[in-house]
Chains A and B, each alone.
Chain A
Amino acid sequence: MELRHVRMGMILGSLVALAGVGCASGQKTPMLGSGDPVADRQRLMKNNGANWADIQNKVKAGNIEGVAVNAEALALHAQRITLVFPEGSLTDKSKAKPEIWQKWPEFQAAAKNLENRAGTLRDQAVAKDAAAVQTTVTTFGRDACGTCHTPFRVPPQQPAQPRS
């Protein structure tokens, strides 16, 4: 009886959610709201970078559990990445490489990889597993950030454009 209730709820919930999605999808932009996808994604990625810096500070300070909130922020932000790279959104302010749109499935996979690795880091932090967190953090720059930045972002090296 309880179970049947659950099942019915699930079915109803799915249907209702579906109807909602149908209505909602037409209206709002999937962006962050500014209407400028380059500004949106730079803002998103800056917060990713700031979360990563916070993670490193916390690990250094021995605050393993405190890493979880930043890792979860990375995981949730990662889910938005592909949405803020609509085709044709390459401006002179953008550091994106055209390879993003030429190899879209690989770009998608790289964003998904960030989400997964951030999720792993979050789970390790929640478990207060200091050794595991440290190991993940050690390779995170290469295995999470790098797998996308190396093929898909123009390296920031030269002081070509001063950032404000």
Chain B
Amino acid sequence: MKLRHVKTTILLGSVVALAVASSATGQSTTKLWTSDVVADRQRLMKLNGASWADAQAKLKAGNAEAVAVNAEAMALIATQILPLFPEGSLTDKSKAKPEIWQKWPEFESSVKNYAMQAEKLRDAARTKDLAATEAVAKEFGRQACGTCHTPFRVPPPQQQAPQR
């Protein structure tokens, strides 16, 4: 019963948020898939993580060319990151650091950097050159993910949850 109450409130809150959001933007919501930006961006970043894992698995199997689809997906996803971090969207479910909004231009440039690194990986993969693709991939965690995660994300409590 208490739980139901909570659920109803959440639902109502979402509906209201959605309605107001729609009228504010003038048309269909462009930034939000649900009414919950934190859930949206976590879903987006999970796909980034899964794409990176898939790229690594393909490299391990010696299939450089197949990495291109994942790298391009990451580059496309990168263009959605900024709108999913509206100011004040820091909840207790979020791993975002307040530094994001304190240093917004740096956050912006690290997202831009991520897109460029993903494109670099994609272009290397398209040449089908395994060694060249591996060379980009080797630096990717630090150069692409890390430049944003280190300053702007609270580290996961345990050492690196196993990725699937």
Label chain A's interface by main secondary structure: helix
**B44 on interface, CB distance cutoff 8 Å:** yes
Docked Cα-Cα span, A115 to B29, in Å, equals: 16
Residues of A within 8 Å of B21, CB to CB, are 18, 21-22, 25
The answer to whether A76 and B69 have CB atoms under 8 Å apart is no
A79 to B33, CA, bound (A): 7
- CB closest residue in chain A, given B55: A69
The size class of the interface chain A forms with chain B is 35 or more
B116 within 8 A of A: no
Are the CB atoms of A69 and B17 closer together than 8 Å? no
Task: Determine whether the beta carbon of B83 is less than 8 Å from that of A28.
Answer: yes
Find B89's partner among A20, A43, A50, A72 (CB 8 Å cutoff): A20
Contact of B31 among A10, A13, A21 (CB under 8 A): A21
B35 on interface, CB distance cutoff 8 Å: yes
Q: Considering the complex, give the chain B residue whose CB is closest to the CB of A126.
A: B164
* B88 engages A19 (CB within 8 Å): yes
B91 and A9 contacting across the interface, CB-CB below 8 Å: yes
Contact B31 A24 (CB under 8 A): yes
- 21 A-B residue pairings within 8 Å (CB atoms): A10-B10, A14-B13, A14-B35, A16-B89, A16-B90, A17-B17, A17-B32, A18-B17, A20-B88, A20-B89, A21-B37, A24-B31, A24-B87, A25-B26, A30-B30, A43-B76, A47-B72, A66-B54, A66-B57, A73-B51, A80-B80
